Every structure is written in structure tokens, then in C-alpha cells.
Structure 1
Amino acid sequence: MISLMKAAEKLGICVGSAKSLVQRGILPATQILPGSPWMVPVEALSSEAVRIGVQGVIDRRPKFYEDYQYDKVVRLSGI
């Protein structure tokens, strides 16, 4: 078992997207208690359903996704 954060890192998506996959039942994960870290079975990362779910996340990214990752300038609309 690995944490949801590590699973997201291995899948190449953000933690929010990984949690969305958990909530939609695509990525299996468990919590011992409400509020505790989500734990994901390592073997689940290679399943076909998870691969398709991750590809859906990647397909929704902006066309120039990489350009936004290291942008240090805060962009405010209308200014």
C-alpha cells in the first residue's frame, strides 16, 4: 500500500485528480478512519480502469499544460 500522494506522483497526475478518481470508484483506496490518509494498493496502479481514468485526466489538461507548471507570474484577468 502507498499513500494517495505517492500514487498520484507515480501516475503523473495531481493529488486532487487522484482523489477524484477514488471518489468515482476508478482508483481503489481505503481510509482507516475519516480524515486519515488514503492508502492505495500498488497493484491497482497498473489496472486497465486506472490507466483509462488517468488518460482521461491527461486529456482534459490545457494544450500548453507544461508551460503552466513552472510559471512564477500570477496572472489576473482584467489587469
Structure 2
Amino acid sequence: MESMATRFSDADIVATLNRMDVRTGQDKTWTAHRVASIRRVRRIHAFRSAEKDGAWLTMREAAAKLGVTSHVVRRMIQDGILPAEQVVPGAPWQIQAEDLENDDIIKALRQKGRPRHTVSRDQLPMFPDT
């Protein structure tokens, strides 16, 4: 929770913990109130979105900056084209803003709409002309 609190709001932390099926010590689901309480007890500062410096972007923010959908950004992450990290598995992806200007990213975006896999010369067509 400490590493997530530096980048995510309490609501995002709640969604992540519940999605991962992590329970509280009393075997309850997480709420924003419970997360805030843990932060206060352990003296973990809350994420302040107003102080966000833009160095790290969410998948949605990266998609908006690139002018594509979140699905396209997710696909580039899965394909290893766009570097991204998760604080914990199942947490939202975090993308460094400077990585969006990488040549590989620009090249991948230009190939939009084209097949990602090459077709083998030995492959038979699914619907041959008859």
C-alpha cells in the first residue's frame, strides 16, 4: 500500500486491492475509508493529484497524449513496445511520459491498421479463389 499511495488515489488503491482479492486483517473488502485509516496509522502520505508532475502517466492519460485508445496502449505494453510498470501485479499500469516519444512507439503507431504478424509464403489461404 505504501508504494501505491505515492502514485494512486485511495479509490484506485481500493479498486486494485479488491480486484486482486486482497482482504483486510478482518477478512473484509477494502473501502476508501479503510485505506485512509491504514495510511493515517502508518503515516503514509496520500497521493495528491494536484501535485502530479506529469512524469508518470496512467494508461488512459498516455492514450490521450498519443491520440489512441487505451486498448492500443495496452497492446503496446503487452507486445513489449511501450515500457510500463505496475507497483504490484494487478495495479494500474504506470508509463513514463518521456517513453511516449520513443522512436519504436512512433513507428508502432504508424503501422496502425496493418497486420502485426507476417504471413508465411507456405501458408495456404483460408478462402482460395474457386
TM-score higher than 0.5 here?
A: yes
Stretches of structure 2 that go unaligned for 5 or more consecutive residues are 1-55, 115-130
**Which structure dedicates a bigger proportion of its chain to helix?**
1
**Percent same amino acid at aligned positions?**
32
Q: Whose radius of gyration is greater, 1 or 2?
A: 2
Once the two structures are superposed, residues 2-47 of structure 1 have per-residue CA deviations (whole angstroms, 9 ceiling, x without a partner) of 1111001100110011100001011110001111110001110111
4+ long deviations beyond 6 Å: none
Alignment match of 1:5 (pick from 40, 45, 60): 60
Which residue matches 1:35? 90
Residue 77 (structure 2) aligned to one of 22, 42, 54: 22
- Equivalenced residue count is 59
The corresponding residue for 1:45 is 100
Superposition TM-score, scaled by structure 2 size: 0.43
Q: Which has the higher contact order (CA 8 A, sep 6+)?
A: 1
The unaligned stretches of length 5 or more in structure 1 are 62-79
CA root-mean-square deviation: 1.3
